[in-house]
Amino acid sequence: MDNLYVIKIGGNIIDDEKKFSSFLQAFASIKSNKLLVHGGGKLATKLADDLGVEQKLLDGRRITSAETLKIVTMVYAGFINKNIVAQLQSKNCNAIGLCGADANIIQAHKRIHPSIDYGFVGDIDKVNAEQLMQLINSGLTPIIAPITSDANGQLLNTNADTIAQEIAKAMSEYYNVQLIYSFEKSGVLLDVNDENSVIKNLKPQYYNELKTKAKIFAGMIPKIDNAFAALNSGVKKVIIGNAEKLNDLINNSAGTTITNE
C-alpha cells in the first residue's frame, strides 16, 4: 500500500498569515500522497460579529443557526478554502478545494440530541473514499472544508477534527494512513502552560491514567479520543503537534505520537 498523510490544520495557525504560509510551504513539499482538512480560525466569528449574528458555543462546539450556517459556509468552504488552494498552487502543489458536499464526499445527518438543539450541525454517516482516491490518483491534493450535506441537500457545519478522523479511517482501506493533527501547541502536554512538557508517546493505558488524574487538558481530550478511534479502525499512526514543525511531525521527531501498541 502507498502512504497517505491526512493532515488537519487548525487553531490559531490559520489566523497568522506568516505561520500559515510557512505551514503550507511544508505541506506542499511532502512527496507522498496527502490530503488537508482545515478549520476556520477566527474569521467566521469576526464576520458574524460584524453582521450582528449572535454566536453560541457549547463545549467549544458552535451552535449553528440558519444565519450562522451561511457565514461558516462562506468563510470555510469559500474564502479560507480557496485561499489555501491558491497558495498551494503557487507552491507547485496541484490542490483542489472541496467541502463534504462536493462529489458527495462526506454524507452526514443533522445532529440529534435529547436536550440540546445544535442547529445545523452535522454528524458523519459515510466518507466516499473511492472518490477521494480517484482525485489523489489523478495527481490532485484535496483540500477539504468542514461543511457537509445530508441526503436531502441540507448543508451542515461539521467538526473538522472529526472529518479528518473519519477520512483517515475510510482511506485506511486503500493506503497506509498517518493522521496528523497540527495546531499551535507542541503536542499533548502534561502541563498546558509548559510547551516543553510534551508527552512523546501516548498509548491507551497511559492515556487512561492521565485522564483519571486529570492531567490532560480538557480541550485536548476530544482530539485524543478521535485519535484512538482512528487507530481502532485501521489508521497506522496519529500524531499531534505544532503546525510550524510539520516536517518534524512527519519524521516523528516532534509532537506526540499516539499508538495502540
Q: Please tell me the predicted confidence (pLDDT) of residue 105.
A: 98
Overall pTM surpassing 0.85 (yes/no): yes
Q: Which residues of 80-105 are buried (b: 16+ CB within 10 A; e: fewer)?
A: bbebbbebbeeeebebbbbbbbbeeb
pLDDT tens for each residue of the chain, 261 residues long: 899 999 999 878 999 999 999 999 999 999 999 999 998 878 888 999 999 998 887 766 779 999 999 999 999 999 999 999 999 999 999 999 999 999 999 999 999 989 889 999 999 999 999 999 999 999 999 999 999 999 999 999 999 999 999 999 999 999 999 999 999 999 999 888 888 899 999 999 999 999 888 888 777 888 898 899 999 999 999 999 999 999 999 998 999 999 987
Nearest-5° Cα angle at 64, 16 to 62 = 50
Q: Give the β-pairing of 201-202 and 256-258.
A: parallel
Q: Please tell me the predicted confidence (pLDDT) of residue 219.
A: 78
- Top-level class of domain 3-258: alpha beta
Contact 147, 155 (CB under 8 A): yes
Measured from the Cβ of residue 162, the count of other Cβ atoms closer than 10 Å reads 19
For the chain, give the number of residues: 261
Close Cβ partners of 234 (under 8 Å, ≥ 6 residues apart)? 169, 172, 173, 177
Write the Ramachandran bin of 255: left for phi over 0, alpha for psi from -120 to 50, otherwise beta. left
- 225 class by beta-carbon count within 10 Å (0-12 exposed, 13-18 middle, 19+ buried): middle
Contact 148, 107 (CB under 8 A): yes
Q: Please tell me the predicted confidence (pLDDT) of residue 218.
A: 77
Q: Please tell me the predicted confidence (pLDDT) of residue 222.
A: 83
Contact 241, 251 (CB under 8 A): no
- Matching residue, cell 445532529: 111
Q: Where are the alpha helices (DSSP H) in 29-78?
A: 43-51, 66-72
Close Cβ partners of 72 (under 8 Å, ≥ 6 residues apart)? 40, 44, 62, 64, 147, 157
Contact 148, 122 (CB under 8 A): yes
Q: How far apart are CA 73 and CA 126, in angstroms?
A: 20
- Tell which residue, 138, 151, 57, 129, has the closest CA to residue 94: 138
- Tell which residue, 186, 187, 251, 195, has the closest CA to residue 224: 187
Q: How far apart are CA 11 and CA 249, in angstroms?
A: 17
Counting Cα atoms < 13 Å in the Cβ hemisphere of 216 gives 20
